[in-house]
Structure formats: C-alpha cells, structure tokens
Amino acid sequence: MTPEQFVAGLPKAELHMHIEGSIEPDLFLRLARRNGVAVRWQTEDELRAAYRFTDLQDFLDLYYDGCRVLVKAQDFHDVTRDYLRRAHADHVLHAELFLGPQGHTTRGVPLAAVMEGVLGAMADARAEDAVTSGLIVLAQRHRTEEEALAMLDALRPWHGQLLGFGLGGAEVGNPPAKFAEFFRRCRALGFKVVAHAGEEGPAAYVRDSVDVLEVHRIDHGNACIDDPSLVAELAKRRIPLTMCPLSNLKLQVIPAVAAHPLKRLLDAGLCVTVNSDDPSFFGGYVNDNYLACQQALGLSREHLAQLARNSFEAAFIPEAQRDDALARIDDWLARSRPHHPKEHE
C-alpha cells in the first residue's frame, strides 16, 4: 500500500476549515454570475493565479473580497455541501467547520440566510453521506468585542444548533485578551471555545488563549514551539492544536513544509492534528496536507495514524462516536501492514 493509498483510506476528522475558504474557482464564478456580482476574474485560471500571498493580511484581503459572491441561503448551502462532499471522498468521518457571519451581515446579507444555508447543507451531508459535522462561529478579531457580543446575541435562535465559538482573522495588533468577556460569556452558555493563535502572532498569544480565554483547542499554534514551558503545559493538559501545514506554506509562515513544527510537537507529546484551513485558496484538502507532511517530515504510517487518532480525541463528539472512529483507524492500520504467511515446511 502506497502512502497515498494509506492516507486515502485513513478515517479522520477535520477540525480547522473555513467554509468561505473552500469556494472552488468554478463555483466562485458561477455564484458571481448567479448573483450579478462583478468580480475581477473571468476564468478559473485567472482566479487561481491570484492565489499567491505574501502574508496573512494579503490573503484576508482577497478572502473578504471573495465573500461578496455569497448572497442567498442557496449559495451558503452550495459551498458547504461541496466541501462536505469532498471531505467524504477524503474519508473524513466528521468535520467541524468555521463560519464568519460578520463578514456577511455587514454586507447586508440576512443572518438567517447564512445560517439556514450552512446548517441545511450539514444536515444533507449527514443524511446522504453519513458525514457528521459541527459548526463553530468565529468572531473577527479586527472588529470590536462589542460587535462579537452583538453577534452572539443575534445568533440566539440557532444556539441549539451550534457547536461553539472561536476567534479568527489577523492576529497582529489583535491580542486574545481583547475578547476576554466574549469568551467568558460563550463558556457560560455552555459552548466549546477555540481561538486562532500563534500563526503570525507570538507564543504569548497562544498562552493568553489558554490562560485568559480558557479555550478547549488552539487553531494553528505554531509559535508555541518558541516557549518550552508552554509546549510542556499543552502536552500535559492535552490541549489540541489544529495545524494547517499547506496554509502555513502558502502564507509564508514557514519556508517549506520540512520546516513545520508539527513533528517536533507531536514527538513532544502534544495532541497535534492536520487540517486544510482554506483548501481552495491554499491548493490542498486534508489528505493533501497529510501527504505533504508524510513526505517532508518523514512520517511513518504509525505517525499518520496517530494524527488521525488525535483528530478524534480533539473533536467535540460523543465518546461512543470517538471510540468507533478510533477502532476504525486501528483496523485500517492493521490492514495496511504487509502480511508474511509462514512458509510450509
């Protein structure tokens, strides 16, 4: 069995994927035409050529501009369903999706259109492909905490259908402590909480996400490698990192996948997971990220299986679902090993 075959059949969860970042160029252009939205690109090749970024902010500028093609509930349904269909093909059993409603409601898109489209597609994926999923709503950190709290209140009709809340967007100049009250209120309501930290921000942002925001998971977390005591604490407390290697490469957070801290952190005992972040922009879905790490970091099948196990350990799912997924990983690993039948005497 080749590494490609092993990864293709490896049961996994994906925990760090932005719905708006999974709009493939063909769908993007179709949505633009459908909604009469003028865009700068006429062909898929032109759009793909624009996916060259110098840093996170450069990417976010294009990302937010691209969100303009999402207008109606059907648009949000289509992009979400397309991603979950692709995830199913990559043997993703469970996905936890990020959504940033503020980028849509500030354009005048009704919140109900956003939520009904996304949640409807998630229900369809479960019924049609048996892919379970959960929705994590992100506050954009370049906006104010008051705006985040207003979003939390506006989402009240859907609270029972949400998995949790998080923090995304440009880290520079937007420390985690800026949203301490928002996270306190989310936790008080019983939601899981996560935060992007340590992608472009320092290790201190990871620490503050843990100590001030009291998150259940860190999204990215690369910079923690700069603080050995923080690494030890994350390992001891089993606070997961949802790492995105090809995203980091595309945004020049790392010069090459071989320089990614994923394996060093895995070896240090952290609950590291592999994810795609914004796959259409960064040229790789979850299996592409697994394979890039396998090739550049010399990961064995046991390493890959551990990353998949970590994805279910870190997922916000019932224990029975977790146990079933872990058993399926062990079975796949056993099936992948070469058999050496005893020779007849």
- Report pLDDT digits (tens) over 14-30: 999 999 999 999 999 99
**Domain hosting residue 104, numbered range:** 3-335
Q: Greater confidence, 205 or 1?
A: 205
The string of pLDDT tens digits covering residues 257-286 is 999 999 999 999 999 999 999 999 998 999
Residue 222 has pLDDT above 80, yes or no: yes
Q: Greater confidence, 103 or 66?
A: 103
Q: pLDDT value at position 339?
A: 59
Q: pLDDT value at position 343?
A: 36
User: In this structure, how many other beta carbons lie within 10 angstroms of the beta carbon of residue 72?
Assistant: 16
Sequence-distant (6+) residues with CB within 8 A of 65 are none
Residues forming a β-bridge with 217: 194
User: In this structure, how many other beta carbons lie within 10 angstroms of the beta carbon of residue 331?
Assistant: 11
The position carrying tokens 């019932």 is: 318
What Å distances lie between residue 277 and 14, 138, 165, 340, CA to CA? 9, 13, 16, 40
CA distance 76 to 23: 10
Q: Burial-class residue 180 by CB neighbours within 10 Å (0-12, 13-18, 19+).
A: middle
| Within a domain: 341 | no
| Within a domain: 234 | yes
H-run or E-run covering 243: strand 241-243
| Within a domain: 343 | no
* Identified catalytic residue from 199, 214, 313, 319: 199
Angle, CA 104 vertex, CA 219 and CA 43 arms, to 5°: 90
| Within a domain: 342 | no
| Within a domain: 232 | yes
For residue 341, name the pLDDT band (cuts at 50, 70, 90): very low
Q: DSSP characters for 8-50?
A: HH--EEEEEEEGGGG--HHHHHHHHHHHT---S-SSHHHHHHT
Q: How many domains does the chain have?
A: 1
CA distance 340 to 266: 31
66 token code pair: 């691209």
What value does the mean pLDDT of the chain take?
A: 95
Residue 344 has pLDDT above 70, yes or no: no
User: In this structure, how many other beta carbons lie within 10 angstroms of the beta carbon of residue 79?
Assistant: 25
The string of pLDDT tens digits covering residues 306-331 is 999 999 999 999 999 999 999 999 99
Q: pLDDT value at position 66?
A: 82
Sequence-distant (6+) residues with CB within 8 A of 63 are 20, 21, 278, 281
User: In this structure, how many other beta carbons lie within 10 angstroms of the beta carbon of residue 317?
Assistant: 19
Q: Is 199 a catalytic residue?
A: yes
CA distance 233 to 241: 13
Contacts 24+ apart (CB under 8 A), 29-34: 31/69, 31/70, 31/71, 31/75, 31/78, 31/79, 32/69, 34/75
CATH of the domain at 16: 3.20.20.140
What Å distances lie between residue 6 and 181, 220, 276, CA to CA? 44, 25, 18
| Within a domain: 340 | no
| Within a domain: 319 | yes
CA distance 94 to 291: 19
The string of pLDDT tens digits covering residues 134-191 is 999 999 999 999 999 999 999 999 999 999 999 999 999 999 999 999 999 999 999 9
CA distance 302 to 308: 10
By percentage, how much of the chain surpasses pLDDT 90?
88
| Within a domain: 344 | no
The string of pLDDT tens digits covering residues 78-135 is 999 999 999 999 999 999 999 999 999 999 999 999 999 999 999 999 999 999 999 9
